[in-house]
Amino acid sequence: MYPPFRIQMRLLYGNKEANVVKLSSGKNWLKSADLKTGNLLGIVNEGEWTESSKFTNSDGSPVRQFVIRVSLNAEQRDITLNKISRTNLSDAWGEETAKWVGKTARVEKVKVMVSGEMKDSVVLFASDVEPDGVSEDESSEAPF
């Protein structure tokens, strides 16, 4: 039996099954519910690969995710970029994520199948609009 803080669900994550584990990571997460199609996100830092505190692979190892800090309406938040968003942005701006800082991404909300239910997901695309709330001083202060 799992401790009460753990919620078991089977998800299809790529070609691997994952279990959902409810844990707090202390980050200020930007969630799909906070966004709408057309929102513009300013890229604040180059991001980093982290081990998820929420998802684990079927072998129990944590899922690796790419977390990047963005600004929305001058408020800075963290967001996990899915593979489609990472591909879209790297195709537009290159694979060196430090060069993404100060650029703007446009939000598209799409429906995806998760555990047999259609859920909202976010896909980011490169935008040529100036970001809101990202100054050069803030963008140069990467925490890693």
Instruction: Say whether pLDDT at 144 is over 90.
Output: no
Instruction: Say whether pLDDT at 11 is over 50.
Output: no
Please give the span between the terminal C-alpha atoms of the chain, in angstroms, as a whole number. Answer: 38
Measured in residues, the chain has a length of 144
Mean pLDDT of the chain: 79
Q: What is the pLDDT of residues 51-79, one digit of tens each?
A: 998 889 999 999 999 999 999 998 999 99
Nearest one of 33, 40, 43 to 96, comparing CA atoms: 43
Nearest one of 102, 95, 19, 14 to 61, comparing CA atoms: 19
**pLDDT class of 25 with cuts at 50, 70, 90:** low
Please say whether the beta carbons of 56 and 21 come within 8 A.
yes
Instruction: Say whether pLDDT at 20 is over 90.
Output: no
Q: What percent of the chain has pLDDT over 90?
A: 63
